């Protein structure tokens, strides 16, 4: 573009799409020749059914340059006003240590990694997550913690679900402390209603009837700051066979008796104030910890210690083949993408400060809060509670509005709890000057030195148990050590900054640096999610434009940016369908049809939305079996709520019958949920909202460049047709709003990534990205089809943006498993493709448009070389147990093994691609999963064990 008098001819590379898309035009021509297509257009014509093809352009115009986009982002950012936030309510100012900001949050070695399903190449982030679990266990005084949930409010909903599963009580009600954060109460309502549970919201001291509930949740300290002792309530709940959960502030827990000490069964909360910016709502990690007895019912991913084939300790995800909690219809939770990067940051914050440092921060915050309280009292505003940690609430009567306005004018946001009460939450960043500004807003200037602040931690609830005694939290306190520790861990991992990660369905594409830059700008990072709207005008502008673009891309009429993962989007979309039916007095529609090939989160979300799952079969080509669909629709007619389909299908094919499927369901009064995880095959080519679907989620961490962060964060906004718009999730502060996230715009601070991507690519770039993604998948299919069967193709023999290769025949012949091939790929320097989804015994490969041809070829060469190795087993040259496949991955210990006695050489084992330059060495050999599940250890083992194992 841009041949003007000013610029002359711009170099092609000036256009960002040429940076984002891996293959050059010349390489694309080579690839087209290999797949036997005359042009990209011709290939797309053969791949995407004509009936659903989009004719018009997206209407975004040409892409912007990186410098133009940065300028645009700067302009938008400058419309956000960063005030000092003392709003609290679950979100606090915090200091992200610069060494962690630059070396984790801004470091692609951490943020471009995938969920650690392949533990041998994930030892770094798994160790960081084990630290996180240890941190949570220590602070909460409970036995087992998972490696992050989405936010505090959804964690509370997960706790309610867990309580329902494990309680002896058969009651159908759940008690909620009225001092829980308002957004937590709203989300509990959202989740309880479809499952038929009643919520009792009240004062634990007076309103709790233990015999009437299966569980209860208490906030500690309460949302307006008060610290209460829940021991009597917890004992009474236990006597009645009910479960006690506590939502606890982790910084307060450094000074307060832990939930475990008080007898609680479950603790949940937000780790945001451990160094993670508020980000106008997110992302940050929520935590959950439970008593040992409930660990097998806990949602989320659990990191555990096991051993590798050399008997060394090694970490991996415990208690699951893939996701123990997403067991389709039997699911207990739908959480998939979590908040790994943020959990890693929080754990590093604890490593950086250590137990003493954290306690010192907490004591200082508490000290300032007591000074603030004493000053307010001297001004005639006595705090409503004498026991508090960091939050003071006062009744300002009819002066509340003017005080809050005066504070804002001085640059400080206070919380308007209700008509007359004002909440003030201090944090690590609070200075004496800020306290004085608050006093000034209340109309006075007390002499701080003359005040006598009273101790505000109730003696009976002072913490006595130790925490963070593990050496890992007590050694890396100099910046040099901290830097090296983080570097050491990241070096153990294989992320996108080293190699292609060809995971089907996960769309591991480029996360461009320029897209990442705004994430750490204070104008995006330092806003409280409940800051007044006039301070977030920049965010508003971006949300509106991003939503409009998502509508244009998807063909829907309205978008909600609230769900903070794909699975949360599914949940929000199904709730919209449910409430749409109910609004039309069409009760009794609770059947959700789901094809057998669906992602596990689909049935899990349906079941959480109170729907009954009925599975629809697939035919031999992987398509929805239309006859079976018709039969199921006929059978359930008036009870049919929805169908959930994935498009292109999880088999990687554009089904020709998609419009027919939508018609069949609509005619029976059902709605169509189209799982948008595979939108990367459609942008600019086809629009779900135009070919029959009613609602979809968009995984912004797949198609729209938010990095996976090692298993989160993500964003899963949903788009809906106009008739569902009224049922989109509302403001989480409003009871009954059907909100699905704690914050109105979910993880707002990562939305600039997706927005920047759209601005950079423009109309043509986005469409071309889709076309090249399809070309690359077809190229891989063409290169591999002589070596492995490639399953599932469309009507004209094309795959969509991913392809599935079948290893089952080879397994039958040789015993080589999918695992063997996946681990052997590590020796060649690759992350494995998606294993055994949607079909057991297969690999699903998705290259995305971002991989250059040389990398795609390197991967295909590796796959072909592995096929030759399997042939050596077929021909009896290697027994499978003694083959490099079974012994994969190989480590430095193999290269240096003085007792080497295998039928292949150390060089063949360690350097199968021939080259030893730039070799990635996994830090451990193959990990024994079942050993770890038999001997479950989910927090940092004492260092002595490592020493013993190393001997
Ligand atoms: C990734 C994926 C999901 C789940 O999305 P999350 O963001 O991980 O919750 C759902 N369906 C399909 C097909 C997916 O690939």
pLDDT at residue 110, as a whole number: 98
Quick: pLDDT tens for 112-130.
999 999 999 999 999 999 9
Quick: pLDDT tens for 128-173.
999 999 999 999 999 999 999 999 999 999 999 999 999 999 999 9
Q: Distance (Å, rounded) from C-alpha 288 to C-alpha 191?
A: 17
Helix axes 751-784, 25-35, angle to 10 degrees: 40
DSSP labels for 268-332? Answer: EEE-TTTT---GGG----EEEEE-GGGGGG--S--EEEEEETTS-EEEEE-S-SS-TT--GGG-S
Q: What is the mean pLDDT of residues 942-949?
A: 56
Distances (CA, A) of 554 to 161, 225, 670, 681, 752: 33, 44, 20, 12, 19
CA of 553 to the centre of ligand 1 (A): 19
Q: What is the mean pLDDT of residues 419-438?
A: 98
Banded pLDDT at 1 (limits 50, 70, 90): very low
Quick: pLDDT tens for 850-875.
999 999 999 999 999 999 999 999 99
Q: Which of 205, 219, 843 is nearest to 506 (CA)?
A: 843
What share of the chain has pLDDT > 90, as a percent? 92
Q: Which of 115, 149, 337, 714 for mutating ligand 1's site (highest number of atoms within 8 Å of CB)?
A: 337
Q: Confirm or reject: Cβ of 801 under 6 Å from ligand 1.
A: no
CA of 516 to the centre of ligand 1 (A): 22
Q: What is the mean pLDDT of residues 933-938?
A: 84
pLDDT at residue 939, as a whole number: 86
CA of 649 to the centre of ligand 1 (A): 13
**Nearest atom in ligand 1 to 646's CA:** 13
245 CB-near residues (< 8 Å, 6+ apart) = 156, 159, 160, 162, 163, 215, 216, 217, 218, 264, 265, 266, 267, 268
pLDDT at residue 87, as a whole number: 98
pLDDT at residue 332, as a whole number: 78
pLDDT at residue 940, as a whole number: 83
pLDDT at residue 938, as a whole number: 84
Q: Which of 920, 924, 783, 802 is nearest to 865 (CA)?
A: 783
Q: Distance (Å, rounded) from C-alpha 889 to C-alpha 543?
A: 45
Q: Distance (Å, rounded) from C-alpha 398 to C-alpha 707?
A: 48
Q: Distance (Å, rounded) from C-alpha 574 to C-alpha 283?
A: 23
pLDDT at residue 322, as a whole number: 42
CA of 132 to the centre of ligand 1 (A): 24
CA of 508 to the centre of ligand 1 (A): 13
**Nearest atom in ligand 1 to 699's CA:** 7
Nearest CA to ligand 1 atom 11: 599
Residue 176 φ then ψ, to 5°: -125, 120
Q: Confirm or reject: Cβ of 650 under 6 Å from ligand 1.
A: yes
Q: Distance (Å, rounded) from C-alpha 573 to C-alpha 694?
A: 9
CA of 193 to the centre of ligand 1 (A): 24
Q: Distance (Å, rounded) from C-alpha 486 to C-alpha 789?
A: 42
Q: Confirm or reject: Cβ of 716 under 6 Å from ligand 1.
A: yes
Q: Confirm or reject: Cβ of 115 under 6 Å from ligand 1.
A: no
pLDDT at residue 330, as a whole number: 74
Q: Distance (Å, rounded) from C-alpha 159 to C-alpha 218?
A: 11
Nearest CA to ligand 1 atom 14: 677
Q: Confirm or reject: Cβ of 595 under 6 Å from ligand 1.
A: no
Q: What is the mean pLDDT of residues 593-597?
A: 93
Quick: pLDDT tens for 887-927.
999 999 999 999 999 999 999 999 999 888 999 999 999 99
Q: Confirm or reject: Cβ of 396 under 6 Å from ligand 1.
A: no
Burial 319-330 (b: 16+ CB within 10 A, else e): bbeebbbbbbee
Average pLDDT, the chain: 95
Q: Confirm or reject: Cβ of 272 under 6 Å from ligand 1.
A: no
Q: What is the mean pLDDT of residues 521-540?
A: 98
Burial 167-192 (b: 16+ CB within 10 A, else e): bebebebbbbbbbbbbbbbbbbbbbb
Q: Confirm or reject: Cβ of 680 under 6 Å from ligand 1.
A: no
For residue 697, is it left (φ>0), alpha (ψ between -120 and 50) or beta? beta
pTM comes to 0.97
Q: Confirm or reject: Cβ of 601 under 6 Å from ligand 1.
A: yes
Q: Distance (Å, rounded) from C-alpha 564 to C-alpha 707?
A: 14
Nearest CA to ligand 1 atom 3: 566
CB 256 within 8 Å of CB 140: no
Measured over the CA atoms of residue 677, residue 681, residue 685 and residue 690, the dihedral's sign is negative
Q: Which of 756, 902, 685 is nearest to 54 (CA)?
A: 685
pLDDT at residue 4, as a whole number: 66
Structure tokens given for 563: 């769900």
CA of 113 to the centre of ligand 1 (A): 16
DSSP labels for 741-790? Answer: SSSTTSSGGGHHHHHHHHHHHHHHHHHHHHHHHHHHHHHHHHHHTTTSPE
For the cut 70, the answer to whether the pLDDT of residue 2 exceeds it is no
Quick: pLDDT tens for 646-699.
999 999 999 999 999 999 999 999 999 999 999 999 999 999 999 999 999 999
Of 929 and 879, more confident: 879
pLDDT at residue 936, as a whole number: 83
Burial 52-78 (b: 16+ CB within 10 A, else e): bebeeebebeebbbbeebeebbeebbe
Nearest CA to ligand 1 atom 2: 677
Q: Angle at CA 355, nearest 5°, toward 352 and 358? A: 70
pLDDT at residue 485, as a whole number: 97
Distances (CA, A) of 758 to 47, 465, 753, 859, 909: 24, 51, 9, 29, 44
Quick: pLDDT tens for 490-522.
999 999 999 999 999 999 999 999 999 999 999
**Nearest atom in ligand 1 to 567's CA:** 9
Indicate the range of 310-314, 470-474, 739-743 predicted with least confidence. Answer: 470-474
Element (H, E) at 173: strand 173-177
DSSP labels for 430-479? Answer: --HHHHHHHHHHTT----GGG--PPP-S-GGGB--S----SGGGSS--SH
Pairing of strands 286-290, 266-270: antiparallel
For residue 468, is it left (φ>0), alpha (ψ between -120 and 50) or beta? left
Q: Which of 503, 506, 566 for mutating ligand 1's site (highest number of atoms within 8 Å of CB)?
A: 566
Indicate the range of 257-266, 619-628, 660-669 predicted with least confidence. Answer: 619-628
Q: What is the mean pLDDT of residues 819-844?
A: 96
For the cut 70, the answer to whether the pLDDT of residue 327 exceeds it is no
CA of 160 to the centre of ligand 1 (A): 24
122-350: CATH number: 3.40.640.10
Q: What is the mean pLDDT of residues 605-631?
A: 94
Q: Distance (Å, rounded) from C-alpha 224 to C-alpha 219?
A: 10
């Amino acid at each position: 573009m841009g041949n003007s008098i000013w610029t002359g001819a711009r170099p092609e590379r000036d256009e960002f799409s040429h940076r984002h898309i891996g293959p050059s035009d010349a390489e694309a021509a080579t690839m087209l020749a290999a797949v036997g297509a005359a042009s990209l257009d011709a290939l797309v014509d053969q791949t995407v059914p004509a009936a659903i093809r989009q004719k018009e352009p997206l209407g975004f115009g040409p892409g912007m340059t990186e410098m133009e986009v940065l300028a645009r982002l700067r302009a938008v950012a400058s419309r956000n006003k960063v005030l000092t936030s003392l709003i609290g309510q679950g979100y606090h100012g915090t200091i992200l240590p610069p060494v962690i900001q630059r070396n984790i949050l801004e470091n692609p070695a951490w943020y471009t990694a995938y969920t650690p399903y392949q533990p041998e190449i994930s030892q770094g982030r798994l160790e960081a997550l084990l630290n996180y679990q240890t941190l949570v266990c220590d602070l909460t005084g409970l036995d087992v913690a998972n490696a992050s949930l989405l936010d505090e409010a959804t964690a509370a909903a997960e706790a309610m679900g867990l309580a329902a599963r494990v309680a002896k009580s058969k009651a159908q009600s759940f008690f909620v402390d009225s001092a829980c954060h308002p957004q937590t109460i709203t989300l509990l309502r959202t989740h309880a209603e479809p499952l038929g549970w009643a919520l009792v919201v009240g004062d634990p001291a007076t309103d709790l009837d233990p015999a009437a509930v299966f569980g209860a949740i208490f906030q500690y300290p309460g949302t307006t700051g008060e610290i209460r002792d829940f021991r009597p309530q917890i004992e009474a709940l236990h006597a009645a066979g009910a479960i006690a959960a506590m939502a606890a502030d982790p910084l307060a827990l450094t000074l307060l008796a832990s939930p475990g000490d008080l007898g609680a069964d479950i603790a949940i909360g937000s780790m945001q104030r451990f160094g993670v910016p508020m980000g106008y709502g997110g992302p940050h990690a929520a935590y959950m910890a439970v008593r040992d007895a409930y660990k097998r019912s806990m949602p989320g991913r659990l990191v555990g210690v096991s051993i590798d084939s050399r008997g060394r300790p090694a970490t991996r995800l415990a208690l699951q083949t893939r996701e123990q909690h997403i067991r389709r219809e039997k699911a207990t939770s739908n959480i998939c993408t979590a908040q790994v990067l943020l959990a890693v940051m929080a754990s590093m914050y604890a490593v950086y400060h250590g137990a003493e440092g954290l306690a010192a921060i907490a004591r200082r915050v508490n000290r300032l809060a007591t000074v603030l309280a004493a000053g307010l009292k001297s001004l005639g505003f006595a705090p409503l509670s004498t026991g508090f940690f960091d939050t003071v609430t006062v009744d300002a009567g009819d002066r509340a509005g003017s005080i809050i306005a005066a504070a804002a004018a001085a640059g400080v946001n206070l919380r308007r709890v209700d008509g007359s009460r004002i909440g003030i939450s201090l944090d690590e960043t609070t200075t004496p000057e800020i306290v004085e500004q608050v006093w000034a807003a209340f109309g006075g200037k007390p002499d701080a030195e003359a005040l006598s602040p009273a101790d505000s931690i109730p003696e009976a609830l002072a913490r006595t148990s130790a925490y963070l005694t593990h050496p890992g939290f007590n050694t890396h306190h100099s910046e040099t050590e901290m830097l090296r520790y983080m570097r050491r861990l990241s070096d153990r991992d294989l992320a996108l900054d080293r190699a292609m990660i060809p995971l089907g369905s996960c769309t591991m594409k480029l996360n461009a640096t320029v897209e990442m830059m705004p994430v750490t700008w204070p104008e995006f990072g330092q806003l409280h999610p409940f800051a007044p709207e006039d301070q977030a005008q920049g965010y508003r502008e971006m949300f509106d434009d991003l939503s409009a673009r998502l509508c244009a891309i998807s063909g829907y009429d309205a978008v909600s940016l609230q769900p903070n993962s794909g699975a949360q989007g599914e949940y929000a979309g199904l709730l919209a369908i449910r409430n749409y039916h109910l609004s039309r007095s069409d009760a009794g529609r609770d059947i959700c049809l789901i094809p057998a090939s669906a992602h596990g989160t689909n049935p899990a979300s349906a079941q959480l939305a109170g729907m009954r799952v009925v599975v629809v079969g697939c035919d031999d080509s992987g398509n929805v079996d239309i006859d079976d669909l018709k039969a199921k629709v006929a059978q359930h007619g008036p009870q049919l709520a929805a169908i959930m389909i994935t498009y292109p299908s999880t088999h990687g094919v554009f089904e020709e019958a998609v419009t027919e499927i939508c018609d069949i369901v609509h005619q029976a009064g059902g709605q169509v949920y189209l799982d948008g995880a595979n939108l990367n095959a459609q942008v600019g080519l086809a629009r779900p909202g135009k070919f029959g679907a009613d609602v979809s989620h968009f995984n912004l961490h797949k198609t729209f460049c938010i990095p996976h962060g090692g298993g989160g964060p993500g964003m899963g906004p949903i788009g809906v047709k106009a008739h569902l718009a009224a049922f989109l999730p509302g403001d989480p502060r409003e009871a009954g709003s059907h909100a699905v996230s704690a914050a109105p715009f979910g993880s707002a601070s990562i939305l600039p990534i997706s927005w920047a991507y759209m601005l950079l690519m423009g109309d043509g770039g986005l469409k071309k990205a889709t076309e090249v993604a399809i070309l690359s998948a077809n190229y891989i299919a063409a290169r591999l089809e002589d070596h492995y069967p490639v399953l599932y193709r469309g009507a004209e023999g094309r795959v969509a943006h991913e392809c599935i290769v079948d290893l089952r025949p080879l397994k039958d012949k040789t015993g080589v498993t999918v695992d063997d091939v996946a681990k052997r790929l590590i020796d060649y320097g690759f992350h494995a493709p998606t294993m055994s989804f949607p079909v057991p015994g297969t690999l699903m490969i998705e290259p995305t448009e971002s991989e250059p041809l040389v990398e795609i070829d390197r991967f295909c060469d590796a796959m072909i070389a592995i096929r030759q190795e399997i042939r050596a087993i077929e021909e009896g040259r290697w027994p499978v147990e003694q083959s490099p496949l079974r012994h994969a991955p190989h480590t430095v210990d193999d290269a240096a093994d003085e007792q080497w006695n295998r039928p292949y050489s150390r060089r063949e084992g360690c350097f199968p691609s021939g080259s030893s330059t730039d070799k990635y060495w996994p830090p451990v050999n193959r990990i024994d999963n079942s050993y770890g599940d038999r001997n479950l250890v989910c927090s940092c083992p004492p260092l002595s064990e490592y020493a013993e194992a190393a001997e």
